[in-house]
Amino acid sequence: MKQEMMVMTKQVEIAENIFELTLQGKLVQEMNQPGQFIHIRVPRSDLLLRRPISLANISKENETCQIIYRAEGEGTKVLSQLEEGTKIDCLGPLGNGFNIEEVVENDVVFLVGGGIGVPPLYELGKKLAEKKAKIIFMHGFANKNAIFYEKEFSDLGVLMLATDDGSYGYKGHTGDLMNKALKVHPNPKAIYACGPSGLLKSVEMTFPNHPHVYLSMEERMACGIGACYACVCPSKKDPTVNKKVCDEGPVFKSGEVII
Amino acid sequence: MSRLSVKLPGLDLKNPIMPASGCFGFGDEYSKYYDLSILGSIMVKATTLEKRLGNPAPRVAETPSGMLNAIGLQNPGLETVMTNQLPSLEKYDLPIIANVAGSSEEEYVAVCKKIGDAPNVKAIELNISCPNVKEGGIAFGTSAEVAASLTRAVKKVAKVPVYIKLSPNVTNIVPIAKAVEEAGADGITMINTLLGMRIDLKTRKPILANGTGGLSGPGIKPVAIRMINEVTRAVGIPVIGMGGVSTVDDVIEMFLAGASAVAVGTMNFTDPFICPKLIEELPNRMDELGIKSIEELIKEVKESR
């Protein structure tokens, strides 16, 4: 982990209230694992806590990375109004990302994302595509206006989309998309998921005994480095033990923690 | 003696800056990022007799210039702290202040009796002010009689000096400070967090799973300064000041209020390098303000009253 004043080189609203922010700096050279996050200090002194935001895209050649976030709370609203050239205090990369070691060429992998949990699956998809895996993305959004990166994901593999209101793609949720995909590909090599707890639970229930299911968790954090004990979730194997989402996660193997 | 050094009961501090308990884990987490030996001390996370799991999440919420927390004293218990956490800090040139919590007088006494056996533990910080646990913590810190009785019991068994961590969640903090001084406390640390609450507008429920939590951060600094000022005018034992310290000027303001050393809490979360930065910046700011040494500043403040 390093601290750096990274330069915001670009910001684009890519869906309703969803922003893609590009940061440039040497910190990018440290970013090696999809699923890791950076801890951003919003440049307003009364906003004390950093915001953990996952890395959506890493380009070591340009020393840039992209984060995608929803402007929802006070901090992310401030972020969405920043102008190009602003220097932003970033800590990172933090946490453990997705394990892709077991995936080899032609393996079928499922990547399941919901809403603002979708972004880290893009960098993960890129890494899996480099391994020539066959990627099936299953993404769920609230409605058509919330969808982003349709072309980008389609370029890496098959993209199945679902919306809650049926305004685009399949009307329903990602659990239904998984069932559909399983009819064609009954034995995916690995399943990766990021999104709300309902989505993570449904992935866990769909693949109860699968050895390679990885779930990215979200929890309110303070320090981001394991010192404050704020972002805990109970261990499934031993309920008297709490796991820290920031440094033991955010990606856990299925069965490791209680969702 | 260097111009930054401070001598307190049990503690020879090379500088007056230390991370506050609960805001620095057991030190290991930050040792990955800088050499802990540069710190004056570390007030490690609260230790109880048995392991504690703490409260359910969410455990933190942001507030204007601050945060609420309801961690609930999660810690691995005395035995593990003695065998794992404290020995791993022995490689640093660092006197440790062990924060001790409990839900009964017997538990406080049992932990205090043992924790001073660790060679690097040079003082105990008695946590009678945690607002986030149902039993213990603050229940011992809001009554002068109870606080004094606990101080006496702990002083009988402790092998190192005992500092009492006071709660700001009282009508008048001075009688409690005086009571623990009379009961034999070697020093006072203050302030712990202020009890607070935030409510989510969409769910209409408290944001913290615990309902309430402890407020900390720059937003509480004026409360800390006022209380440190009141207490240090009323007692003779030293006070380690804390509550919202985020800049080198805040550090000096704590000394001007009457503190003899300064702990940094919540800002460690905002900036993990805050303590080294403050230690580095302190001499320059002292030059600008005509302060020769911290010990001299402490003496001057005391004599000016």
pLDDT value, residue B225: 98
Q: Are residues A190 and A104 in the same domain?
A: yes
Domain-embedded: residue A43:
yes
CB contact under 8 A, B59 and A231: yes
> By CA distance, what is B65's nearest residue in A?
A46
Domain-embedded: residue B167:
yes
- Is A65:A217 a contact under the CB 8 Å cutoff? no
pLDDT value, residue B266: 98
- Is B195:B142 a contact under the CB 8 Å cutoff? no
Distance CA B261, CA B251 (A): 9
CB-CB: which of B71, B266, B272 is closest to A225?
A: B272
Q: Are residues A27 and A114 in the same domain?
A: no
Q: Are residues A74 and A180 in the same domain?
A: no
B chain contacts of residue A243, beta-carbon cutoff 8 Å: none
> By CA distance, what is A225's nearest residue in B?
B29
pLDDT tens readout for residues A236-246: 999 889 999 99
- Is A177:A111 a contact under the CB 8 Å cutoff? no
Concatenated DSSP letters for A58-98? EETTTTEEEEEEE--SHHHHHHHTPPTT-EEEEEEEESB--
B chain contacts of residue A75, beta-carbon cutoff 8 Å: 62
CATH number at residue A240: 2.10.240.10
pLDDT value, residue B139: 77
Q: Are residues A166 and A139 in the same domain?
A: yes
Domain-embedded: residue B15:
yes
Provide the pLDDT confidence category of residue B135 given band limits of 50, 70 and 90.
low
Distance CA B298, CA B300 (A): 6
Domain-embedded: residue B65:
no
CB contact under 8 A, A223 and B65: no
Per the prediction, chain A carries an average pLDDT of 97
Provide the pLDDT confidence category of residue B269 given band limits of 50, 70 and 90.
very high
Q: Are residues A102 and A191 in the same domain?
A: yes
- Rounded to two decimals, the pTM is 0.95
Domain-embedded: residue B208:
no
Domain-embedded: residue A76:
yes
pLDDT value, residue B292: 97
CATH number at residue B90: 3.20.20.70
Of A78, A94, A110, the one marking the end of a domain is A94
pLDDT value, residue B136: 64
Q: Are residues A72 and A134 in the same domain?
A: no
Provide the pLDDT confidence category of residue B140 given band limits of 50, 70 and 90.
confident
Q: Looking at the complex, report in whole angstroms how far the Cα of residue B223 sits from the nearest Cα belonging to chain A.
A: 17
- Full residue range of the structural domain in which residue B291 is found: 6-54+73-194+217-304
Of A94, A128, A145, the one marking the end of a domain is A94
- Full residue range of the structural domain in which residue A227 is found: 218-252
Q: Are residues A187 and A134 in the same domain?
A: yes
pLDDT value, residue B138: 75
Q: Are residues A159 and A239 in the same domain?
A: no
The residues of B that are catalytic are 130
pLDDT tens readout for residues B215-261: 999 999 999 999 999 999 999 999 999 999 999 999 999 999 999 99
CB contact under 8 A, A227 and B62: no
Domain-embedded: residue B26:
yes
pLDDT tens readout for residues B121-131: 999 999 998 77
B chain contacts of residue A220, beta-carbon cutoff 8 Å: 57-61
- Is B241:B190 a contact under the CB 8 Å cutoff? yes
pLDDT tens readout for residues A183-211: 999 999 999 999 999 999 999 999 999 99
Q: Are residues A102 and A211 in the same domain?
A: yes
B chain contacts of residue A229, beta-carbon cutoff 8 Å: 25, 45, 54, 59, 71, 74
A chain contacts of residue B24, beta-carbon cutoff 8 Å: 227
Whether residue A54 has pLDDT greater than 80: yes
pLDDT tens readout for residues A23-53: 999 999 999 999 999 999 999 999 999 999 9
Q: Which of B71, B267, B269, B271 is the best mutation test for A, with the most CBs of A within 10 A? A: B269
Provide the pLDDT confidence category of residue B150 given band limits of 50, 70 and 90.
very high
What's the total number of domains in chain B? Answer: 1
CB-CB: which of A48, A50, A240 is closest to B66?
A: A48
Domain-embedded: residue A83:
yes
CB contact under 8 A, B53 and A242: yes
Domain-embedded: residue B270:
yes
Q: Are residues A211 and A156 in the same domain?
A: yes
DSSP-derived secondary structure letter, A145: G
pLDDT tens readout for residues B15-43: 999 999 999 999 999 999 999 999 999 99
- Is A140:A163 a contact under the CB 8 Å cutoff? yes
pLDDT tens readout for residues A114-146: 999 999 999 999 999 999 999 999 999 999 999
Q: Looking at the complex, report in whole angstroms how far the Cα of residue B53 sits from the nearest Cα belonging to chain A.
A: 6
- Is B43:B125 a contact under the CB 8 Å cutoff? yes
Bridge partners of B66, per DSSP, are B63
Enumerate chain A positions whose Cβ falls within 8 A of a Cβ in B.
1, 3, 41, 45-50, 75, 89, 91, 219-234, 240-242, 247
CB contact under 8 A, B272 and A223: yes
Domain-embedded: residue A65:
yes
Q: Looking at the complex, report in whole angstroms how far the Cα of residue B219 sits from the nearest Cα belonging to chain A.
A: 9
Q: Are residues A58 and A147 in the same domain?
A: no
Whether residue B58 has pLDDT greater than 70: yes
pLDDT value, residue B134: 66
- CB B145: neighbour CB atoms within 10 A? 11
What's the total number of domains in chain A? Answer: 3
Q: Are residues A197 and A113 in the same domain?
A: yes
Enumerate chain B positions whose Cβ falls within 8 A of a Cβ in A.
22-25, 29-30, 32-33, 45, 51, 53-54, 57-67, 69, 71, 74, 217-218, 266, 268-273
pLDDT value, residue A171: 97
Of A67, A94, A121, the one marking the end of a domain is A94
CB contact under 8 A, B57 and A220: yes
CATH number at residue A21: 2.40.30.10
